[in-house]
Amino acid sequence: MKLNWKDCWSLKKQNHLLVKLTISILLMGLAFRLFVFKSEEFTAPSDLETSASADVDRAEVVTEEAKAGAEAEAKQPVVSTVDDDVSEYEDQNQMPQNELEDQNGMPIKEKCNLFIGDWVPNPSGPVYTNATCPLIEGHQNCMRNGRPDSGYLYWRWKPRDCELTQFDPENFLDMMRNKTWALIGDSISRNHVQSFLCILSTVEQAVEVYHDEEYRSKRWHFPSYNFTVSAIWSPFLAKAAIFEDYNGVSTSEVELHLDKLDKKWTEQFPNLDYMIISTGKWFLKSSIYYENDTVVGCHYCPKRNLTELGFDFAYGKTLRSVLDFIATSKHKGSIFFRTATPDHFEHGDWHNGTCEKTDPFKEGEIELNYLTKILRDIELAEFEKASAKAAENGVNLKLLDFTSLSLLRPDGHPGPYREFQPFAKDKNARVQKDCLHWCLPGPIDAWNDLIMEMIVNR
């Protein structure tokens, strides 16, 4: 069939209208979709209020928790530390003590003042006896000498604000392979070295490899560990001529050179990895003082026409020289300065005093006597000055403040049992009492727990 042009025009017109209608519908649909899409981008006012309210509540909870945490932290007691490096670490990071970590990510044990505490019952008793340790000298061997009571053996030192781990001799010897130790000072140092060796000898027996002519300086070796321990006899730490027998009986005054340190320890000093240095009671003896090899005065020399300078003058001057020598040495080992330990003589001294108590004191039940307090005040003052200088020079100088904890143990001395069976022939015999040195085993063993804590964990 053949269409004319009018039919074509009518058909085109209808198609044109259909296209317009289609386009209009599409445009309306697009507009409606855009309107709905845009409206979904906003939250209804009620939703906004709910969301804002929830955020404020959460903020208030966090603020209250932070405030409570800050208040709790502020109420925590200030705990003194033995290790200044740890104290600085805490200040920099503001971390609770029990969350501190070392450089390897290992937890650092809580810190406290190890020297403030109490003696508490210890049913397990000592780790050695006079039967298991052949290194105890006769005057400290209270069990062999016949001391009848044993309660003094069943106490341990408990710091007030932390736990103290018992000395672990096997772990200690492992740490000390190829190392050298020395305890330098008087008979209390020699007393201590016996305790030290007796505990270590539960793992391996120490072999004596040296002694001086008077058997006062000695050296021992642990072969399996190549570990050496020395006792260096130097009661003044300074050069001194001493005219006294083994029982303390003098025939003349000590001749003490205040400006010369004792070469017996200074010559060995550079080769020692660890050392404990102490002195004290010997400065109370009658002495003539020298400087530049010239007499400058004395202490307690009434028969001589000399100026009385006092033991405190000599002690301060000597400690100043000793600690200055150490602090300026640039020594790379660990050096401990031990404070003087108190005696417990009652009603007299070496010749007529006694110490008959069988239990420890509690804090506040006893005070340092006048002379020991003077020694201690000098020690703390000189150590404080030296420790600052040591820190500047990279010297690891630490304080072993054993005075107070030792003061609480009047029960730990040999008393009359410094001699073998002193009352065997006469129960009323008058014998010399020792209320200065310590029975072995005895309270002095706890010193090693504290030393290991400072070396291993601090």
Q: Chain-centre distance of CA 38, in angstroms?
A: 71
Rg of the Cα atoms in the chain: 39
Q: Which residues pair with 208 in a beta bridge?
A: 220
86 half-sphere exposure, CB direction, 13 A CA radius: 21
Determine contact, residues 120/156, Cβ cutoff 8 Å. yes
Given 186, 343, 411, 434, the catalytic residue: 434
8 Å CB contact between 399 and 323:
no
**Active-site residue, from 187, 201, 230, 406:** 187
Which token pair is 192? Answer: 């201590």
CA end-to-end span of the chain? 113
Catalytic residue of the set 234, 331, 437, 449: 437
The continuous run of DSSP H or E covering 227 comes out as strand 227-233
Q: Which residues contact 219 (CB under 8 A, 6 or more apart)?
A: 208, 209, 210, 211, 228, 229, 230, 231
Contacts of 251 (CB under 8 A, 6+ apart): 243, 244
Using alpha carbons, select from 37, 72, 85, 49 the residue that is nearest to residue 457: 85
CA dihedral angle for residue 260, residue 263, residue 265, residue 271, rounded to 10 degrees: 120
- Catalytic, 257? Answer no
Active site residue 426: no
Q: Are 135 and 128 in contact (CB under 8 A)?
A: no
Spatial distance between the Cα atoms of 19 and 206, rounded to a whole number of angstroms = 112
Does residue 401 carry a catalytic annotation? no
Question: Do 422 and 429 form a contact (C-beta atoms < 8 A)?
Answer: yes
Could you tell me the CA-to-CA distances from 50 to 38, 46, 64, 237 in Å, in that order? 22, 6, 21, 79
**164: Cβ–Cβ under 8 A, 6 or more apart, which residues?**
114, 117, 156, 157, 158, 449, 450, 453
Buried b (16+ CB within 10 A) or exposed e, 287-316: bbbbeeeeebbbbebeeeebeebbbebbbb
Which are the catalytic amino acids? 187, 434, 437
